[in-house]
């Protein structure tokens, strides 16, 4: 939900300007992203704009996160579900960035998706605030009770 310049995700509020947009041409294996995605992954913005193999991004992940993320992507592709994961991006010298991504596949050929799009954002403790419940939450509770 977009509310006052931020996005509420899993009870976390993320500043809208911190959302990086990305898309993956699965046939050509070109993963593209905007300047925010490039910053998050510490990849050259022009290179990412032109597209890099998805393996280049997987290689940036913390070693213990890679298998889980690859499996989650595979499941989203095969089962036509949203891939929503948090993981750590390696920045070098033992430093990592905590990241959240939400991706969805589309554009089917022979039963498999051909494209994937979504957003990626950095999760920082200072940026995270509890999101308020939806405005209609009280109404939903009343309807369930009465």
- Per the structure, the complete domain to which residue 32 belongs is given by 6-145
The count of structural domains within the chain is: 1
- Read off the pTM: 0.76
Whether 121 is in a domain gets the answer yes
Span of 32-36, 75-79, 95-99, 136-140 with lowest mean pLDDT: 136-140
Whether 1 is in a domain gets the answer no
For 48-71, how does the pLDDT look when each residue is reduced to its tens digit (9 = 90+)? 999 999 999 999 999 999 999 999
Whether 108 is in a domain gets the answer yes
Q: Is 90 exceeded by the pLDDT of residue 25?
A: yes
Whether 18 is in a domain gets the answer yes
Q: What is the CATH number of the domain that holds 130?
A: 3.30.450.20
Whether 22 is in a domain gets the answer yes
Note the Cα 106 to chain centre separation in Å.
16
Cα angle 16, 91, 62; round to 5: 95
Cα angle 119, 123, 127; round to 5: 115
């Amino acid at each position: 939900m977009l509310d006052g310049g931020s996005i509420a995700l899993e009870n976390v509020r993320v500043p809208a300007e911190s959302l990086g947009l990305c898309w993956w041409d699965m046939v050509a294996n070109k993963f593209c992203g905007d300047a925010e995605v490039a910053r998050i992954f510490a990849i050259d913005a022009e290179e990412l704009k032109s597209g890099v193999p998805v393996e280049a991004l997987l290689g940036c992940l913390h070693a213990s996160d890679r298998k889980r993320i690859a499996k989650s992507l595979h499941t989203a592709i095969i089962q036509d579900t949203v891939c929503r994961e948090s993981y750590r991006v390696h920045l070098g010298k033992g430093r990592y960035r905590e990241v959240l991504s939400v991706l969805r596949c589309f554009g089917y050929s022979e039963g498999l998706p051909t494209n994937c799009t979504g957003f990626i954002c950095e999760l920082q403790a200072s940026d995270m605030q509890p999101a308020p419940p939806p405005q209609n939450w009280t109404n939903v509770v009343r309807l369930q009770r009465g």
